[in-house]
Amino acid sequence: MSYAHPEVLVDTEWLSQNPPNESRKLVEVDYDPVNGYQKGHINGASLIWWKRDINDPVTRDIISKKEFEALMSKNGITADTEVILYGDFNNWFAAFVFWVFKIYGHENLKIMNGGRKKWELENRDYTTDEPQISPSQYIGQPPDEGLRAYLFDVSRGIGKEDTVMVDVRSPAEFSGQITAPPEYPMEHAQRGGHIPDANNIPWATAVNDADGTFKGVEELKQNYEQKGVTPDKDVICYCRIGERSSHSWFVLKYLLGYPKVRNYDGSWTEWGNMIGNPVEK
Amino acid sequence: MLLDLPVIEKGSFYFIKDGNTALILEDKTKRGLEIKETSEDETLKVKADKGMIHDMDGIGHWVPIRWYFSKDSYDLSSVLVHANAMEKKYTELRELTCPQDDD
């Protein structure tokens, strides 16, 4: 059985045979561009830096439609361009950017399965040359808020039979043993634990550990359905800052074809810091 | 196991442990950090376990977790010089962020 939307994935071999051109743009999305893109990237790829390019610099929010259009223009992307995303940290941030592209209505969008991890395991070439890009004209769509869950949506969903929360963090974060791994000292919360009744299905259970690629349909179905995460539910995914959960959002929405999946990008750094929010350990 | 080694000196922010061939200085503020590589520390010029910490921009920085001072070249007093320097640095940082109330 194939994925519900196989057109959203390309593999490393396909990309090596089909390099970027005028109508196909390749974009590396990094959390840490100094140790990623700047050390080497796939030939022809431009960079979207998660922190700088996709987040509002002052308010905690994703960029506005106007800022998204400017970002697309800078990367030479038009509304008709085929865009292929890949990145560091098992494509977590590429998936986050995929989610933002979809919020602003970009249609022809794909992820390179396995991201930097698989490309490097296969000893494929990198370059440090940055592509010459002519700015484009980009007109985005109004934001599709149906893809995003806010604090209010999550509070309202607690205790409802037709809503299911998927906490994609590690079991140690879910149980409240830690609020963030020590390598992310800026991403802690005041309280550890999880949103009441959430299911702990770590993002990594959706990927093959060896190369970071997505698991097959049957394995993915088993992974989610046995925990009650079924297509008839309103599914809300969250993690610590909303990037790992966008990876699981991508799996549920595009690989399994669930009709109603939202990413709660406020995630634990919002929920675990709000006064009065209920927390389960 | 590093955990089982006897502690011969400790401060608020460090342990010095007695290894077979080295005195091991551990930075307590890096507890739990995953060791990503072991290589020479450019400042102290001894072998060190290193991890990576990401700053507010998401940029990863290599940080030493523990240093291995060979017993052939270093005695406890020379390791303590580095340990005390570390203790002073972290005490000053703590004072900046959480000053003691002297009243």
Tell me the domain boundaries of chain A.
6-143, 147-271
Whose tokens are 């079924």? That residue is: A230
> Most B CBs within 10 Å: which of A35, A183, A269, as the mutation test of the B interface?
A183
d(CA A194, CA A217): 27
pLDDT of residue A38: 97
d(CA A49, CA A64): 16
Runs of H (alpha helix) within chain A: 12-17, 50-53, 65-74, 92-103, 115-121, 151-157, 171-174, 217-225, 244-250, 267-271
Chain-centroid distance, C-alpha A26: 16
The CATH classification number of A147-271 equals 3.40.250.10
| Nearest residue to A163 via CA among A75, A268, A258, A251 | A258
Please indicate, yes or no, if residue B81 is contained in any of the structural domains: yes
| Enclosing domain of residue B60 | 2-97
Of A9, A239, A251, A261, which residue is the catalytic one?
A239
Q: Which CATH architecture group holds A6-143?
A: 3-Layer(aba) Sandwich (3.40)
Q: Residue A134 in 3-state DSSP? A: coil
Q: Give pLDDT tens digits for A120-136.
A: 999 999 999 999 999 99
Please indicate, yes or no, if residue B22 is contained in any of the structural domains: yes
And the tokens for A72? 């697309």
Distance from CA of A187 to the nearest CA of B (A): 9
Distance from CA of B63 to the nearest CA of A (A): 10
Q: Is A237 considered catalytic here?
A: no
**Mean pLDDT, chain A, as a whole number?**
97
Question: Which residues of chain B have a CB within 8 Å of the CB of A96?
Answer: none
Q: Give pLDDT tens digits for A65-103.
A: 999 999 999 999 999 999 999 999 999 999 999 999 999
The reply to whether domains A6-143 and A147-271 share a CATH topology is: yes
The domain total for chain B is 1
Distance from CA of A178 to the nearest CA of B (A): 11
Chain-centroid distance, C-alpha B55: 19
End-to-end CA distance of chain A: 37
Distance from CA of A61 to the nearest CA of B (A): 15
In DSSP terms, which residues pair with A280 in a beta bridge?
A194
Phi, psi of A59 (to 5 degrees): -80, 145
State yes or no: pLDDT of B2 exceeds 80: no
Please indicate, yes or no, if residue B14 is contained in any of the structural domains: yes
Please indicate, yes or no, if residue B102 is contained in any of the structural domains: no
Q: Which residues 200-259 of chain A have a CB within 8 Å of chain B?
A: none
State yes or no: pLDDT of B99 exceeds 90: no
Query: Which long-range contacts does A21-27 make (Cβ < 8 Å, 24+ apart)?
Result: A23/A80, A23/A81, A23/A82, A24/A81, A24/A82, A24/A83, A24/A84, A25/A75, A25/A76, A25/A77, A25/A81, A25/A82, A25/A83, A25/A84, A26/A83, A26/A84, A26/A86, A27/A75, A27/A77, A27/A83, A27/A84, A27/A85, A27/A86, A27/A97
Q: Give pLDDT tens digits for A10-69.
A: 999 999 999 999 999 999 999 999 999 999 999 999 999 999 999 999 999 999 999 999
Tell me if A31 and B54 make a contact (CB, 8 A cut-off): yes
**Quick check: A86 contacting B, CB < 8 Å?**
no
Band of the pLDDT at B96, cuts 50, 70, 90? confident
- Mean pLDDT in residue range B63-91: 97
Q: Which residues 18-77 of chain B have a CB within 8 Å of chain A?
A: 30-34, 51-60
pLDDT of residue A79: 97
State yes or no: pLDDT of A1 exceeds 90: no
| Nearest residue to A25 via CA among A15, A40, A33 | A15
Residue A40, by phi and psi: left (phi above 0), alpha (psi -120 to 50) or beta? left
Chain-centroid distance, C-alpha B68: 10
Please indicate, yes or no, if residue B103 is contained in any of the structural domains: no
State yes or no: pLDDT of A8 exceeds 80: yes
**Quick check: A34 contacting B, CB < 8 Å?**
yes
Predicted-assembly ipTM surpassing the 0.85 threshold: no
**Quick check: A32 contacting B, CB < 8 Å?**
yes
Q: Give pLDDT tens digits for A171-226.
A: 999 999 999 988 998 899 999 999 999 999 999 999 999 999 999 999 999 999 99
d(CA A222, CA A243): 23
pTM of the model: 0.92
| Nearest residue to A9 via CA among A213, A279, A165 | A213
Tell me if A32 and B58 make a contact (CB, 8 A cut-off): yes
d(CA A256, CA A4): 5
